[in-house]
Structure formats: C-alpha cells, structure tokens
Amino acid sequence: MSDMLAPLLCLDSSADRGESVSRRLTAEFTREWRRRGAAVRYRDVSADPVPLIGEAYARLGRRVERRGALSLSDIGRLVAGEAERREWELTRPLVAELRAAGSVLLGVPMYNFGVPAALKAWIDRVSFPGVFIDPETGRKLLGDKDFVVICARGGAYGPGTPREGFDHQEPYLRAYLTNLGVDPRRLEVVSAELTRVGDVPALDGLADLAAASLAAARDRVRELAGSEPAGAPEAAGID
C-alpha cells in the first residue's frame, strides 16, 4: 500500500463476533496499523446496522442525479421534507467518513455466495449519486485511496472446484468498488477459503488446504499492513 500511515477506515460485516475469520484478519491488520502510530476509525455494520434506504432516499437521489455531481452542502439544500431530511442525515456522515479516509479495509464473509446484507445496506447507503466525484473538476474522490478487502469463504470457489462460478462475493466487490471510482491498481483482495472445515461434513479431509489458505491470507494481510509474514498455519474458524 502506498501510504500506510494515512487514516484507515475499517468495516467489519460478519454476524459472528466470536469465531469469524474475516474479523480475525481485519483485527490483525488494524493492530499492526495502530502499532505504527496511524489512526484507525472502526465501524461494525453487523453490530450497528446501517438502516436500509427508503423511498425518500430514492426520491432525493433522482433529484440530485439530474443535476450531476454536487457538493454535500448543495445536496443538503435540495432536501425536501422530513423524510428526505432523515435519509440525508443517515447518509451524509457515512459518505463523509469514507471520503475522509486515506485507506479502507473491508472484512467480508461470504453468505449464500454473496456479501452479507449488513454490508449491502452500507453499500446502498453510501452509493448516493455523485458524492464521490469532485463537482468542480470531475475528479474521482476515491481514486487516490487504497482499499483492502478481506474475504472469508466456508468452501472453495477457485478454478476446477465444484462451485467454480458460484462466487458472487469477490467479483461483485471488485465491480462495485471500481465503478465507484476506486483505482483497480489500489484495490487488494485477500481471501481465506474452506473456513468451515470441521463444521461441514462435506469438507472432511480438507483441513490441510484450509490451514494453507488461512496462512497465506494472514501472510498477505501482514504484508499489506507493513509487517513481516507470520508464516505459521492456524486452525480454520467460522465465517
């Protein structure tokens, strides 16, 4: 990552706050970040859910979209009525938080081949029309930020596996983030697979592959956070 001491925004989305692999990996990343003296802003969208967007959000969004990219203040002046005011009050702080971050870390388990509903609610809320484009220059405001996405999957979804093509987690997040303005060269995705070994009988006999996948993910996380790889395998967990 290019600017390791920039403020980091970390989002966790796993519903399991005890044995989550994605949470363990984001914790390792943020622990190293803090050790180096950098600021971390933490948000747990599972423990503190982002409200689903409503009709007034869509109504205000359409009105803004017709005008192109606007400043957050200009959007606020277009708010009409109490329902739209509430939607914008729920939206603006999350947008501002993401815009203020120097780097972003997302912890994302795979649920039913996709991302958790808790993360999707955050995605829908921050994806307000035009808020990540500079209205004066047209510059993409997320283009100079580093993004690290830590994915955890109970099974395996790589080439040649029975569920190849079932992965609607990583491809979705890559498409969404780059469409939002993230530079694909500054987007890192780290995946730990087979995290449900020991829980799902169909995965019996794959413990070594699970341990290797987790060890590789931990090494990559440590590398991205600026420390030396750990190298030691660790038991798979639930995510």
CATH number 3.40.50.360 is the correct assignment for the domain at 8-225? yes
In total, the chain counts a number of residues equal to: 239
Query: Helix axis angle, 55-65 relative to 81-100, nearest 10°?
Result: 70
Is the pLDDT at 54 greater than 90? The verdict is: yes
Whole-angstrom Cα distance, residue 41 to residue 50?
Answer: 16
Cα gap 187→192, rounded to integer Å: 17
Residue 238's pLDDT is what?
Answer: 54
Is 21 a residue whose pLDDT tops 70?
A: yes
Considering the entire predicted model, what is its pTM? 0.91
| Number of C-beta neighbours around residue 187 at 10 A | 17
* Residue-level pLDDT at 124: 98
Pick the more confident residue, 234 or 122: 122
Q: Which residue has the tokens 């005008």?
A: 67
Q: How far is CA 6 from CA 21, 83, 115, 132, 177, in A?
A: 25, 36, 27, 19, 19
Q: What tokens appear for 38 in the block?
A: 């950098």
Binding-site residues sit at: 14, 20-22, 110-113
Residues at the binding site for FMN are 14, 20-22, 110-113
pLDDT at position 131 = 97
Across the range 12-21, mean pLDDT stands at: 94
